[in-house]
Amino acid sequence: MQSSLGEKTRERSLADKSISAFNELYFAVTEPLKLKIARLRFENQYLELAENPLISICVPTYNRGELLMERAVKSVLAQSYKNFELIIIGDHCTDNTVELISKINDPRIRFYNIPKRGYRYPPTVKNHWLAGPVVAANQALSMVRGKWIARIDDDDIWTPDHLSLLLDFAQSGNHEFVSALYEEERQGKRRIVDGEPGDGPYFNPKAKEEGLGPKIGGVQTWLYRSYLRFFRYNINCWRKAHNRVNDTDLEIRIYKAGVRMGFLEKVVGYILPRPGEKTVGLSAYKESIKEKEEHFKFN
């Protein structure tokens, strides 16, 4: 049987099911407890609204130096909100990423290139899409120094007021985690992508209603308090039956742990096809399977 990616599909193995079940139980038990402890230790720091808190922006990247500069870095440096640090994590980049970053004279930029990129999961193009950024994204979280955390992928673009809008919304609503609308382009057509309720069928196939809880938007629209950085991306997300994409796995765990979430009904970013491609997301990987497998192969 063939998947939509042209790969042979397989039943989830006993290891997949066992590891996923263990992780689900582990996260369900430990993360709400860690949240309570984090709130006791740090939430008082957010009671009085800081006028200009430091925001740590995390960017995982792998051998897309030119695109990283043209999209993510350019749109971050153009932000109307200026008090941020930009943490760029190269997943053992071997292209000109290091050289390009070194040419930027801005003390707010911090770059770390992971020393090696070894085997992490079965290297199918779909798994690269599901779990590819996990190691670099977790490395970025270990380096944050700000009071808030934002995330942008190397090929994403933010609106100039992205940080200011999300920070104002989060602070005014006493939210610990906020997200928003974004605009994407597929096959030459653009559309605004809404969030999905955390208790709805998008995240839970067994849900019979559309969901009444707060909506959760795409990862490039996230802004959250830095005491939540104990929530880490799951390298075994590809083994799951649902919510298999690394950021989807993380955001639904954050929701289930009881984090106070808010959703801003404004577009704060754009996801556009990469050069030479016509669509985004998994569909883009589908259209260039061999190229993506070669690009993301492990060292």
Tens digits of per-residue pLDDT, 219-272? 999 999 999 999 999 999 999 999 999 999 999 999 999 999 999 999 999 999
Three-state DSSP at 134 gives: helix
What percent of the chain is modeled with pLDDT above 70? 97
> Of 128, 153, 121, 131, nearest to 5 (Cα)?
128
Three-state DSSP at 44 gives: helix
Confidence bin at 94 (pLDDT 50/70/90)? very high
pLDDT at 49 > cutoff 90:
no
Q: How far apart are CA 192 and CA 7, in angstroms?
A: 30
pLDDT at 5 > cutoff 60:
no
| Pairing of the two strands 84-90 and 55-61 | parallel
Burial of 77 (0-12, 13-18, 19+ CB in 10 A): middle
Confidence bin at 11 (pLDDT 50/70/90)? confident
Q: How far apart are CA 276 and CA 215, in angstroms?
A: 33
- 138-171 tens-digit pLDDT: 999 999 999 999 999 999 999 999 999 999 999 9
Q: How far apart are CA 134 and CA 136, in angstroms?
A: 6
pLDDT of residue 4: 36
> Of 70, 81, 215, 216, nearest to 148 (Cα)?
81
pLDDT of residue 10: 57
- Token representation of residue 139: 């490395």
For residue 78, give Cα distances in angstroms to 74, 117, 145, 187.
Answer: 6, 31, 21, 28
Confidence bin at 1 (pLDDT 50/70/90)? very low
Hey, how many other C-beta atoms are within 10 angstroms of the C-beta on 62? 24
Average pLDDT, stretch 79-107?
A: 97
Confidence bin at 286 (pLDDT 50/70/90)? confident
For the chain, domains (ranges, CATH) are 14-295 (3.90.550.10)
Three-state DSSP at 30 gives: helix
Confidence bin at 209 (pLDDT 50/70/90)? confident
Q: How far apart are CA 145 and CA 136, in angstroms?
A: 17
Contact (CB, 8 A) for 150 and 166: yes
Confidence bin at 82 (pLDDT 50/70/90)? very high
pLDDT of residue 2: 31
Give the total residue count for the chain: 299
